[in-house]
Amino acid sequence: MANALEQSGDRFRDAFWDNLEETIELVDAAALVEDEPDWEFLQDCAEAYPPAEGDHHCTVLIANVLGRCVIRTHIRHDADAIPAWALDYLGRITMEDDKDAAWEESGAFGWGIGHEEVAVADRTLTRAEADDEYWAASVLKHAIYADGRAAIDLYERILQSPDTMEDLHHIEGMQRILNEPFPRTPRYWEPTDELDPPGPLSDDAIEHLLRVLGENIHPRRLQQFDDMIQFDLEWAATEYGERDSA
């Protein structure tokens, strides 16, 4: 496969992306029975094409359809109704080993936050501490919709870890909940066509987030980026930042 890709230049890549949306829609349709996910069918697909193994280029497709079904299940039921194996599949996708932007689709792992069997928050923190903070940020973009308070608590753990470096990058994605009904991935899908959006972030959750920001990021940095972030970083800096910060 690697030799074929090298010899074909951009032709394979162009054909792949030209046909990906249609292929995803076909698999997604096959994966639904009376609007509920056919988890047995999806598990067969996941086991046939595991992440980071071989050159099948199917991870992005499976992650997309799994992500849709994970979101459907969380919205219509709850996090614990999501099969643990489905979350595990999404949680094993990496930027380094899985091609075709599959890691972006795997951010739907965040909808499992609070799952009784899968430690979504712990696994996300571990990945962030292992220099995979951009993946962690993609998980937070989803988790904030699934459970705002739990997502903010995870964000606080990431900020406080001595093994992470990013701070405001995460909040750039999390702020979309303020004016977008769902995250932007999985791609090629309009969830509002079939699902009611989760409720907005509560005032208490927003205040908790501002406290987390103020207590963990230098006031000057918060003030510097206040115009770029929809959350009130100025308030976080002045209300919760260290009074003696120079």
214 exposure class (CB count in 10 Å sphere: 0-12, 13-18, 19+): buried
Bridge partner list, 87: none
Structure confidence by residue, pLDDT tens digits, 62-90: 999 999 999 999 999 999 999 999 999 99
- The Cα–Cα gap between 87 and 70 comes to 8
Q: How confident is the model at residue 19 (pLDDT cuts 50, 70, 90)?
A: confident
Q: Give which of 89, 77, 11 is closest to 47, Cα–Cα.
A: 89
Q: What are the phi and psi torsion angles at 37 (to 5°)? A: -65, 140
What pLDDT score was predicted for residue 1? Answer: 43
Structure confidence by residue, pLDDT tens digits, 88-106: 999 999 988 876 689 999 9
Q: How far is CA 52 from the centre of its chain?
A: 18
206 exposure class (CB count in 10 Å sphere: 0-12, 13-18, 19+): middle
Would the pLDDT of 244 be above 80? no
pTM: 0.92
Across 40-44, 71-75, 80-84, 166-170, least confident range: 166-170
